Structure formats: C-alpha cells, structure tokens
Amino acid sequence: MTDQAIDPPSAAAPKVSDGYRRYAMTVLLIIYILNFVDRQVINILAEPIKNELGLMDWQLGMLTGLAFAVLYTLLGLPIARLAERRHRPAIIGVSLAIWSVFTALCGLTQNFVQLILARVGVGVGEAGCTPAAHSLIADYVPRDERASAIAFYSMGTPLGSLVGLAIGGMIADAYGWRMAFIVCGLPGLVFALIAGFSLIEPRLKAVGAAAAAQGATYREVVAELFRKRTFWHLAVGTSVVAFIGYGHAPFVASFFFRVHAAELASLAAPFGLKAGGFLGIVLGLGTGLGGAIGAFMGGQLADRLGKRDISHWMAVPSLGAVAAIPLYAATLWVPSAVMALGLLSLATLTASLWYGPIYATAQSISPIRTRATASAVLLFIVNLIGLGLGPLLVGVLSDFCAINLGMGRGEGVRWALLISASLGVIACAAFWTARGCIKQDMED
C-alpha cells in the first residue's frame, strides 16, 4: 500500500473553506474542553469528596480512573465503527449530551457506589467524542498540517483541566462539591446541539451515503495496524505518558493540600479565597496554560520539522517525555508552594508536546476508511492502561507508602507521584524507536 493509498486524492473528502475550517476546529476545541472539564473537575474535588464520604486514596483512584475508563475504553471501539459509516457530528453531539447529563448527576449522588455509577455514565458518553473528532479533523486538513490541527484540538485537554480546576475549586468552596458537578455539566447540552446541526460531514458530501457506509471489518483494521510497528511504539509510549498524566491528576491537588497547606492558606487570604479555590485557580492556570502551550508547540514543531524529515514527528514527543521527569521531581521536593507550582507548569508544558504528532501519526498511517477505528484502538490501549490503571495504582502506592511504610499522607503521595513520573524514560524510548519505522509505515 502506497502513501497515496492512505491519502489518495480521489478518495479524500473535498476541502472545506478556510473560514469554515476555522469555525469547525473552534467548535471541536470547545467540545473537547468540555470533555475534560467534566472528566477532570473531580480532581480538585477529590479532598472534599474523600473527607465527606470517608474514602481511601485507592477509592479516589477508582473514581477518577477505573470507573470512568472501563466503559469509556470498551465502547470507544463500536462507536468508532459506527463513525466509519454514519454522521460523525451527530455522534459527537449525542455523546456530548450523555456525558454532560451524567456529570450533573454526579452532584446528586450520596455515596461512593452512586458516584462510581455516575462516573461510569460520564465515560460512556465521552467514548464517542475523540475517535470521531480525530477522523473529522483528518478529513478537514491535509497531512502536512495534521499535527498542528490535532494539536489545536488537543489543547482541550489542558484548557479543560484549567477550567475544571478553577471553576470547580471556586464553586466547591462557595456551594459545595456537588454544585460544582452540576454547573460543569449543563453547558454541554447547548454545544451538543451546535455540534449535531452545524458541523459538516465531509465524507457524505464527497462520496455519498452509500459509499460512506462501506468500511473495513475489525479484523482488517487490527491486521492493518498490527503490521505497522510505528503504531505499537506509539501505543506503548502514549500509554506511559497517559499513565503518568492521569495518575498524577487526582493527587496533585492532594499533594499541595497535604504538604503545603499552611502556605496555601496564607497565599489565598489576600484574595479573599479559601485554599481550595485558590489552588484550583492557580493549578488550572499553571497546568492549563502550560499544557496548552506545550500541545500547540508540539504540533507546530512536528509539522515544521516533519517537512524536512517525517521522523521528527517522533523526536518531539520523545524529548518532551524525558525532559518532564526532572521538572516533576523538582516540583515534589522544593520547599516553596509557589516554586512548586511554577515548576509544575513547566513540567506540564514539556509533557504535553506529544499530543499533535502522536495522534497525527496514528491518523496518517491509517487508510481513510479506518481512521476513526484506528484512533479508537489506540485510545483503547492508552486509556485502559493510562486512565484505567494510572489513578488507581498511584492511589494504591500512595496508601502503601503512607500506611505500610509509615510515611504519612503527605510523604506517601509525594513518593507515589515521584515513582510514577520516572516511568517517562519508557515513553521516551518508545517514541524514539518509532523514528526508525514511521517513514516505511506511512508509505506501506
């Protein structure tokens, strides 16, 4: 199979206008921001939830990771298959409505089991978003701009975390953690309508509904991906960076509350805020903006360097993964909360360089007819390991260090975050190894 078979001019969807492309990319970015607001707002609410419901850290890990990830990963595959044949904007809109309703329902729960079930519902809804969105973006833009376009969309991850942390912390301080869930869930219902009725399905416009209904079987897609060594290097590397990112997310705020509580209170007082609201705003701004800048830079660097040598698409995330390790370590050991927050922003920036080049590579080594499914297969592997196990295992490690090793809650979470951050060397090696086969896999 040649590169033209992967992106053949005759099979590619017709280009939309530049103005419409900007509109569509903006809508998709906002939807992805809402995706991560609803997914990640629980992280700033973890301590009040833990205290009110009497939970252990491993239970927080279940709420933020495994409960969300199980059906999120499993349903991603069949929904992606549906996206190969049906109207992708409608799928995105329905998915957005479902996860928004379940996010709001999290605020009505009264115990651990009810909250687990509501989080499962959020995962069910969000399963339909990213594979369909990646596939749409690949149709909207040419290959040599794909890393930048998907990086732009992926800015929704840090920006959504920013909004979720900031708004969630302030609302929780003022009205309680339940109201934070309700407020964060409702806006998605409006954008569900916008997505379903205003986004163009270029595939149907290009080749008609009958041709769009054709698609490869699961077996054909998996066989195609299995032949491509690049894909499996991506899967390993991205699973590790996701394990670190998702594993850290529920416990970073807990780390600051447990280790820097007094300093946070003194920093928040001049602004008339409580520690939770202050930390939510600062964490949101620092990691959100750092992550957004990193995602944008990663896409821009990959596209610019990739025009000279496509293997540079893999060099960018490789270097970002290893550079983040000492920054994470410094974050955990500096004595000042202010310095720790600044270092965490830099660590998030470097750790976010991978979004554009990794997902663009996955789309670019896959034939047009299998792109949504290829994205779902990658996300299945990545989220099962990263999102499903990351928060849970970091929580278990935190409890083990705190209780079994007698370190206490503050030191326990510090060492759990440090040990997990060191796994970045595996991601670095996997991405770097992919440099040797990406050219062949794009041409094969």
CATH of the domain at 247: 1.20.1250.20
Mean pLDDT to the nearest integer, 196-224:
66
Domain assignment of residue 250, yes or no = yes
For residue 161, what pLDDT is reported?
82
Domain assignment of residue 409, yes or no = yes
Domain assignment of residue 26, yes or no = yes
Domain assignment of residue 184, yes or no = yes
Higher pLDDT, 385 or 277: 385
Q: Taking all residues of the chain, what is their mean pLDDT, rounded to a whole number?
A: 85
pLDDT in tens, 58-80: 887 777 777 777 777 778 888 88
Domain assignment of residue 301, yes or no = yes
pLDDT in tens, 112-127: 899 989 988 888 888 8
The Cα 47–Cα 44 span in angstroms is 7
Domain assignment of residue 6, yes or no = no
The Cα 385–Cα 318 span in angstroms is 19
Q: How many structural domains is the chain composed of?
A: 1
Higher pLDDT, 362 or 239: 239
For residue 439, what pLDDT is reported?
85
Element (H, E) at 85: helix 67-85
For residue 215, what pLDDT is reported?
55
What's the token pair of residue 177? Answer: 């953690």
* Burial (Cβ within 10 Å: 0-12, 13-18, ≥19) of residue 405: exposed
């509501």: which residue's tokens? 118
- Weakest-pLDDT range from 158-162, 414-418, 434-438: 158-162
Q: Say whether pLDDT at 204 is over 70.
A: no
Domain assignment of residue 202, yes or no = yes
Domain assignment of residue 1, yes or no = no
Confidence class for position 346, pLDDT limits 50, 70, 90: very high
For residue 162, what pLDDT is reported?
82
Model pTM score: 0.78
Q: Say whether pLDDT at 392 is over 60.
A: yes
Could you tell me the residue range of the domain that residue 103 belongs to?
13-443
Mean pLDDT to the nearest integer, 277-291:
85
